[in-house]
Chain A
């Protein structure tokens, strides 16, 4: 209990420091913090140059583990993640561990930039690493117990990209949008303050190792065990889940939409477990030992939006309809 209180204080300080380094992204920083302490992988979506990499480097620096980054390209093969071959100085062929294996157990933050440019074969390898936190190579299994994957999906360009399959998306706890800040003061600060021009120096301002990366799994387990949920809340969470499958049953209506035809697939059980894990982590950050509806509401959009699949008839309107559906579900379902 005392450890959880201490960890919470550290987590809030960690969040505060992140907000000092990447300004104007308070909501995204909070969600990333929840993902870190809920031990969930994160799919980032946003425009270029909004601070995604800086934010992830700052997190990696703050957690103290090793950080690895790989760029998704159309010719990237799964083997490129595991090993690479080259001729050494003596002219002999050599095989060295690739980005996933080079840091072994110390690998804490793995950033896959532009994941939708990589082939599905790469996705499937990554999925196993994400789900099982292990990779088979060189006739043995490499365990990556502290691995947390952050994948970036560029929303601007769609050419030569491979849309992530539903199974791949489902393995990400959150899909977090990082948008360009709209506050004029923040934008001016980003433009004119030289502090934000040198990201290397900026990341170094982050205190290193405040929360040891190797303790995160234990802290997360402690949080999940510590936070209680009542029967009423379970009923509310169940209603939220069911509404992702059949929103019409809960009286949710969207303009120009046949609600019976809208949903092709709702959230998976794995998604709901991620949902509750994230909500419990939020309750812990708020200093409570019980879940409240507001905890569920706070993480519903980032947990659910990439797990609900519209029928082809409405899929092209996803960017317009998904926020309406999420808002409608949260606005219509009462608790208690």
Chain B
């Protein structure tokens, strides 16, 4: 991990910039309004020099001098903030990449001239620029630039050597005015891949592979994997049971089978259809289910409560068909029964 550092502490820089901006504003207004008054005051003091004690006059003069000093014209720099963020300056080897980040904030519409940035390619015989990226955003009164630079060093030293990424200027422009911000040179050390001094001391094999790393303790991960596998298997089994996919557990497939049978029955076989649905309800209930037992049935199978009206219709239709002498109204009975069976199938699967 490269340790990032900054040429300026960001927070301090901001505080400093705030103070500087404040001073600029205050001093500019002070220059306009107070300077003539100060000059007149000094002139007045000179004329009245004999009427005041020397100590008082000295204090007034020092104060006025400080005020006039403040009125002196501070320069309006085009850059309001400049940060140069760099990684650790040591521990690099031949071929390592070095990432620099430059944060630049301008004021008064001053813009960065991108043509002046380092170009991709060789900077010198051992330094290459691999990537240059600029992110621009507007801030109040100017622009903010974030410039990412990726260098790659191709230097093969025989011993630890200090190298320097050269300084360059960031060109700035506002209308016809030009300025620049210097990015300082950056020094770092590069270590050799093959240490010659070791070669002198040690006989035998010089190029050796690294010691094999010790294996990490993966027992926890393996246990976790088995646990996850067990949970997955259990969940799959639960879902299969819930949806009635397990052939050995017929209770969850009661309405599935009933729906299949009902689908294959012709409209004329109402008695057969009613019997099929009776048998399905009996299977779910675990015993023959009669209409007056519905309340108890709902207590044990609450999901069927929502189909109460349809189930009561079914029992009344069944009673009328099987136990009444009156001719039952068979219009749409089978269709309604199939619909009821589909609703019960959903409940069996826990969907509703």
**Given A233-B323, A293-B323 in contact, is the A332-B287 Cβ separation under 8 Å?**
yes
Can you name the residue of chain B whose Cβ is closest to the Cβ of A328?
B287
Name the interface residues of A262-304: CB closer than 8 Å to any CB of B.
290-294, 297
Contact status B287-A336, CB under 8 Å: no
Complex interface: chain B residues within 8 A of A297 (CB)? 290, 292
Interface string of A143-156 (1 = CB under 8 A from B): 00000000000000
Name the interface residues of A319-336: CB closer than 8 Å to any CB of B.
331-336
Contact status A230-B288, CB under 8 Å: no
Can you name the residue of chain B whose Cβ is closest to the Cβ of A295?
B323
Contact status B288-A333, CB under 8 Å: yes
- Interface residue B282 (Cβ < 8 Å from any Cβ of A): yes
Contact status A336-B324, CB under 8 Å: no
Complex interface: chain A residues within 8 A of B282 (CB)? 334
Contact status B288-A290, CB under 8 Å: no
Number of interface residues of B (CB under 8 A): 18
- Interface residue B305 (Cβ < 8 Å from any Cβ of A): no
**Given A332-B288, A334-B288, A336-B274 in contact, is the A228-B322 Cβ separation under 8 Å?**
no
Contact status B287-A290, CB under 8 Å: no
Contact status B278-A334, CB under 8 Å: yes
Contact status A336-B292, CB under 8 Å: no
- Interface residue A195 (Cβ < 8 Å from any Cβ of B): no
Can you name the residue of chain B whose Cβ is closest to the Cβ of A327?
B287
**Given A333-B288, A334-B282, A335-B288 in contact, is the A290-B275 Cβ separation under 8 Å?**
no
Contact status B278-A230, CB under 8 Å: no
A290 to B326, CA, bound (A): 9
**Given A294-B291, A331-B288 in contact, is the A230-B325 Cβ separation under 8 Å?**
yes
- Interface residue B318 (Cβ < 8 Å from any Cβ of A): yes
Contact status A232-B322, CB under 8 Å: yes
- Interface residue B319 (Cβ < 8 Å from any Cβ of A): yes
Interface string of B182-201 (1 = CB under 8 A from A): 00000000000000000000
Contact status A292-B319, CB under 8 Å: yes
Complex interface: chain B residues within 8 A of A228 (CB)? 324-325
**Given A230-B323, A232-B323 in contact, is the A293-B318 Cβ separation under 8 Å?**
no
The 8 Å CB contact of A292, one of B279, B323, B325, B326, is B323
Most chain A beta-carbon contacts within 10 A, residue among B271, B278, B287, B322:
B322
The 8 Å CB contact of B290, one of A229, A230, A294, A332, is A294
Complex interface: chain B residues within 8 A of A331 (CB)? 287-288
- A30 CB to closest chain B CB (Å) equals 14
Chain A residues engaging chain B, CB cutoff 8 angstroms: 228-230, 232-233, 290-294, 297, 331-336
Closest 4 CB pairs of A and B: A334-B288, A232-B322, A331-B287, A290-B324
